[in-house]
């Protein structure tokens, strides 16, 4: 099978991909893929040198397709793409959760959204809605609003409201909750051992709060949750994505996966295998 012999299949495949790329200008391969149906791209720190450059980059991308989705992973605090070279000037989630003033959280997120919108970015992979119940967690930590579900819930909702009030879609992550883990999913497969009843009281409430606030997207996590599915990591699991997120919780927005080149899934299934399985499980974008 060649790409030219199956153009409809190729266009469909491109419609579910959200690739990143190297450099601060649009590569030829990205232009070509957009013409073939690529619907979204993701920017990282390696693509960002300054406001004028980013605005020029997104302008060039939209010249290829005005309806393109341009996404970024801008949590503020420790995870910043806009200020990767200088360090974040805005507080991260733990600082906001510790202050526990939802008006401040909403304003910080609105400020992030206004900057992103001004740069031509329309989807932000934030906020983290993970409840950091395990202090040994190597990947969430200060990216969480805290260790209490009620605190994380109200601040996740405030972040969603603030960001989306500026015209940028928010994405609550990492469903169904990455807070009670001791493995970094970039490197291996974490496992959450809590039962479904415990998860309903601890891990899920912030995602429900984000949905109630109108969050446009949810990002799935690369972790095993035997309470829901003992075989497949959440990103690749129909019981998690289809039955729990879509069915039980009633989410109707965009479901996007965490990066499928991360070790938790890529080492076991390969990048193509993980991508195919994620779509089969119900993801809209990988």
First vs last Cα of the chain: how many Å apart? 23
Non-local CB neighbours of 99 within 8 Å, separated by 6+ positions: 91
Question: How far does CA 14 lie from the centroid of its chain?
Answer: 19
Which stretches of the chain are DSSP H helices? 7-15, 28-35, 51-64, 93-99, 102-119, 149-165, 196-202, 205-212, 238, 263-269, 271-281
Q: DSSP letter string over 223-238?
A: -BBTTTBSSS-GGG-H
Return the active site residues.
186, 258
User: Which candidate, 73, 44, 86, 26, places its Cα nearest to that of 168?
Assistant: 73
Euclidean distance between CA atoms 238 and 246, whole angstroms: 10
CA pair distance 60, 46, nearest whole angstrom = 17
Q: What is the full DSSP assignment across 78-89?
A: TB-STTTTT--S
> How many alpha carbons fall within 13 Å on the CB side of residue 9?
6
Pairing of strands 40-43, 123-124: unpaired
Give the separation between CA 46 and CA 64, rounded to whole angstroms.
21
Q: Which of 114, 111, 97 is nearest to 149 (CA)?
A: 97
Contact of 285 with 220, CB cutoff 8 Å:
no
């Amino acid at each position: 099978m060649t790409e030219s012999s199956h153009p409809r299949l190729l266009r469909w495949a491109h419609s579910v991909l959200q690739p990143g790329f190297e450099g601060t200008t649009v590569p030829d391969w990205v232009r070509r893929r957009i013409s073939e149906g690529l619907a979204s791209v993701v920017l990282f720190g390696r693509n960002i040198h300054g406001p004028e450059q980013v605005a020029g980059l997104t302008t060039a991308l939209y010249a290829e397709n005005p309806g393109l989705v341009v996404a970024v992973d801008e949590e503020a605090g420790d995870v910043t793409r806009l200020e990767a070279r200088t360090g974040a000037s805005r507080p991260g989630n733990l600082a906001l959760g510790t202050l526990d003033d939802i008006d401040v959280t909403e304003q910080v997120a609105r400020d992030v959204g206004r900057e992103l919108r001004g740069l031509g970015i329309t989807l932000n992979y934030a906020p983290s809605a993970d409840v950091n119940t395990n202090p040994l967690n190597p990947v969430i930590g200060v990216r969480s609003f805290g260790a209490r579900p009620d605190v994380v819930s109200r601040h996740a909702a405030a972040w969603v409201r603030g960001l989306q009030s500026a015209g940028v879609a928010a994405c609550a992550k990492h469903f169904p909750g990455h807070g009670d883990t001791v493995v970094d999913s970039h490197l291996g497969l974490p496992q959450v051992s809590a039962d479904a009843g415990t998860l309903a009281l601890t891990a899920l409430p912030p995602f429900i709060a984000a949905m109630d606030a109108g969050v446009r997207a949810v990002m799935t996590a690369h972790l095993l949750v035997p309470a829901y599915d003992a075989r497949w990591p959440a990103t690749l699991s129909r019981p998690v994505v289809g039955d729990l997120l879509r069915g039980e919780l009633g989410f109707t927005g965009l479901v996007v996966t965490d990066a499928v080149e991360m070790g938790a899934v890529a080492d076991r299934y390969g990048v193509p295998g993980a991508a195919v399985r994620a779509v089969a499980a119900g993801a809209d974008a990988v």
